[in-house]
Structure 1
Amino acid sequence: MSLPKRNLCFTIPSVYDDTELDCRLYYPRRTEQNSSLFGRGFAIVAHPYAPLGGSYDDPVVALAGNILLRQGFILITFNFRGAAGSSGRTSWSGKPELADYASVYGFALFYMDAIWRHRKQKQMQGNKEGDGQRLQHDSGAVPPTDRPLLVLAGYSYGSMITSHLPTLEVVAHLFEAPKEDSAEKEIQRRACDLARDGRAYIEMYTSDMTLSSPRGRRERWGEGAQNGQRSPPTPPHQHPQLHHPVTMGGYESDVASRRVSRESSRRSIDGERVKQSIDRVRHKMSVRKSASQQQSPTKSLPEDKTEGALEAKEMTRDATISPRIAYVLISPLLPPVAGLITMFSKLKLVTKTSNMCNSGPNQEHEGGEFEQLVRWPCLCVFGSKDVFTSDGRLQRWTEQLRARAGSQFVSIRTNSGHFWTDSEGIVRLQQGMIDWIAALSADGDKRSNKDDDGLAQGRSPDGIFPVEASPI
């Protein structure tokens, strides 16, 4: 099993040590069934242990990713350092990989913020212009109390890293007012640049679904469309720029460009993408060098890059929109295996400039290890025949998390192994995720109204999740 052709390939620097991380982004196809999450749902899926062949091309990553795409999520996958020829090498502590995931986490926050902020502003502008009635009937309009949903997922080693991610507050604090030429700033700019394509895609698909009937087309566009004064948008499946994969490499700052140049000799699974990225960086540096004698560096930047930088500054001034968070863990690794591959070191977020474990809110200070897995909705799917973690240990671990006060943790136990090769296990994994996502989506509006800061209110999992995904 594999994912569909990616829409975007790009790189971001890791906040741990600037190592370049290969990332892919996939757009979902909108259907009537996933319209409630289309443009509102975002997901990250992390892959298994790189030294054993794990990468973002892993079939279980593809299995989970396809489920999320069908439910309307914009999907992000990435390679940990050293995976499949990517830059860097796998660590013995897991801390660099945790920072790698946190880097993608930060990218996702900026990316969804740029999309959500634009849609909110567009809706407010439409209401001011007296077009609120049309927006109210547009299924793509943003409800005033709704917030985007971000699913943090991982399989095997990826689930171990996912389960130790810092809090939303810690990640937001890490990217708060980032310094120029820092990895955090480059991640913010890259997210703003790519969000423009995402916004166009979402708006196209929303318009296409709204205009599915001749009557809807006449009501929305009026007689002016027939006279050439105002024409409806091109449907997404006919739009040439939204379905060809886009490769994006290189950075805006000189420091970041030099960082990429040092990595120009590395091997990558996407050789053509890397070559194009390096060519862009070299061209950009040569343009800056020649333009510095005649004009300011800002004028030498492409127009879209300048817009991205301005949008990043706008996001820095304003508070980032706080999403709802949820977790998906597939075949999680527990001790002793988890200890062996991390040399029994304590997983905590460490960056180039700070140790985030000792700054800002942290899960250990708030309620113990794995607190995020009970604070937010979490689905854990594992097999009774897992060769890396015993069935008994997995059952005890999941029972302990479900027993915590206010826990939103839920688990599904199947008669499968670690690698999900049997058809029965695959079906249960698929159906379990589908049911859990459906319940999560249905509960979203009520939770948004009752919980302004996005924190859990101590509800029992029985009030959130379907029977099929009930505890073991």
Structure 2
Amino acid sequence: MPLPLPTLSFTIPSIHDDTVLQCRVYHPACLSPTRLSQITTWNKKAAIVAHPYAVLGGCYDDPVVDLVSSTILEQGFLVGTFNFRGAGASKGRTSYQSKPEQNDYLSFVGFMIYYMHLLSPPPVPTDLSRLTHFDPEYHDLSPVPSQALPPPHLSGFMTATVDQSTADAPAIAVQKGSVELTNNGSRLLLAGYSYGALVATHLPPMITSIIAQFQNPPEGSAHAEIRLRAKCLAAQQNQVMHTQISSLPNANSHHRGRSLQADLHSPKLRKTSGGVRMGGEENLRRASHDSHRSRSSFSMETSEVVRKSVDRVRSIAKTKRFSPKRQDTQASAASSKANESQSSFEHIPPVEDTGKVNDTVVCKEVPGVGVGLQTAYLLISPLQGLVSHLLTLWSSRSWKEQIPEHEMKLTVDPSLVVFGDDDLFVSAKRLRSWAGKLSEASNGSGRFRYAEVSGAGHFWQDFEAVKVLQAEVEAFVKTL
């Protein structure tokens, strides 16, 4: 199933150099229900899927990114995609050593952490079981499949065949003696395909170190603007969800003889259920799956508070980031940062008719953000070996090194690697050797697993191989 239209389409600045990045967020059915049977509890689970190398045409509209994202979305995850610098309508140029792209990824990670923390859907109605009795599609729901891991097949690597008998059966390789993973608590899945997988592999291993960068950001900084964007969009979506979810039981109970879809398409409800476009520098001629839609059809009428606060902070951020004061010495910049470290987005003053801001927007750390948040990794056709060495320019390390420090996180957090045996850029032998070392380093914990898919190339054009890829991803996500 292809991805639906995004719930949110917006931009954020990169923490690397303020480069404007295109972003999308997709809400699962439990956060955007159109039927009573879809109203379930959201367990604060989200995923980010990064795209291939922009120079070779990679962007967030890539078919593999679409497949992986839609598969994760169907499992109840909030899903976010973004364009690296130089991809799509994101500003800037693609680098040749991936460091800027790593910061692009971290910028979106920061947004997603705060957005999912501040997102607060209404509780499931206590009388839902009574109301769903009148939902015509409720009785057609299939039982929820088991979330247990597939039984182990081989102690080493697994080659997933692509004949019809195994196309629908996940074949995740699990070492002997592995333990099943639990799916308790909130989760952030960091995923990537091809170059996106390479960037995800080089991210910092500790989620707390990423959060710390955003907790006390200097006013007007990229970190601060990302936080404000997350806060404003979460507040707006909280209002939308409360309106939409609360209207479903009423529509169902008052119009039992009518189609619920007809009620959902009423002007009042349609006004609060569309996607939101935010950010000051989106390119409206996006090469995306919603580019055929007009700007008005893809936008929604957000509250005045949200609109004015975003417009105000955008002007403040532009003044702060591009004023001569930003070119001061490092000593003065450090002093300014120390003075501003106690600020937070708590006070949003009114905007006068002249458009001038009466007061500054300040921000301080958000209590509890990231508490209990666990990370996981999903890497599709990762670039490893000599290709990885050339793209990242890690001259101080040999590409033959056993396990670099940044890759050890894959043996600690739940991780799945899926690759084909006919990869154009990296040989299956090298990928198999690399994955085998990580499996051994996980000490049989079952945290790291991988699957080699027979007949699959780097671009996943074989239909049967794609079905296996989808099954592997679905089986893995169900364990999180």
Deviations 1:444-470 (A, max 9, x none): xxxxxxxxxxxxxxxxxxxxxxxxxxx
Please state how far the C-alpha of 1:44 moved relative to its aligned partner.
0.7
How far apart in 2 are the matches of 1:3 and 1:28? 11
SS in 2 for 1:83: coil
Please state how far the C-alpha of 1:199 moved relative to its aligned partner.
2.7
How far apart in 2 are the matches of 1:14 and 1:180? 15
1:157 aligns with 2:192: no
Please state how far the C-alpha of 1:134 moved relative to its aligned partner.
7.1
How far apart in 2 are the matches of 1:71 and 1:317? 28
* 1:2–1:57 contact (8 Å) kept in structure 2: no
* 1:87–1:267 contact (8 Å) kept in structure 2: no
* 2:194–2:381 contact (8 Å) kept in structure 1: yes
SS in 2 for 1:175: helix
How far apart in 2 are the matches of 1:344 and 1:70? 38
Q: Which runs of structure 2 are paired with 1:165-314 in the superposition (5 Å)?
A: 165-166=203-204, 167-200=206-239, 202-203=241-242, 239-250=269-280, 269=287, 298-300=349-351, 313=363
1:10 aligns with 2:10: yes
1:381 aligns with 2:431: no
* 1:329–1:380 contact (8 Å) kept in structure 2: yes
Change (3 A) 1:87 1:199: same
Q: TM-score, normalised by structure 1?
A: 0.65
How far apart in 1 are the matches of 2:243 and 2:263? 6
Match among 405, 427, 442 for residue 368 of structure 1: 405
Deviations 1:132-177 (A, max 9, x none): x7799999xxxxx963221111000000001111120210111121
Change (3 A) 1:407 1:175: farther
How far apart in 2 are the matches of 1:370 and 1:11? 30
1:62 aligns with 2:100: no
Amino acid at match of 1:428: V
Q: How many residues align?
A: 361
Equivalent in the alignment of 2:468: 428
Change (3 A) 1:39 1:235: farther
How far apart in 2 are the matches of 1:342 and 1:209? 50
How far apart in 2 are the matches of 1:137 and 1:372? 46
How far apart in 2 are the matches of 1:372 and 1:14? 24
1:392 aligns with 2:422: no
Percent identical across equivalent pairs?
A: 36
Q: Which runs of 5+ in 2 are unaligned?
A: 133-182, 257-261, 300-306, 320-346, 398-402
Equivalent in the alignment of 1:414: 453
Equivalent in the alignment of 1:98: 102
1:319 aligns with 2:368: yes
Q: Which runs of 5+ in 1 are unaligned?
A: 140-144, 218-233, 251-259, 290-295, 348-365, 441-472
Change (3 A) 1:346 1:174: farther
Choose between structure 1 and 2 for higher RCO, CA contacts under 8 A separated by at least 6 residues. 2
Change (3 A) 1:344 1:146: closer
1:45 aligns with 2:43: no
RMSD: 4.4
Deviations 1:163-197 (A, max 9, x none): 11112021011112111101101000000111124
Deviations 1:32-88 (A, max 9, x none): 998777463211110000000000111100010110121122211100000124200
Q: Which has the higher helix share?
A: 1
1:330 aligns with 2:402: no
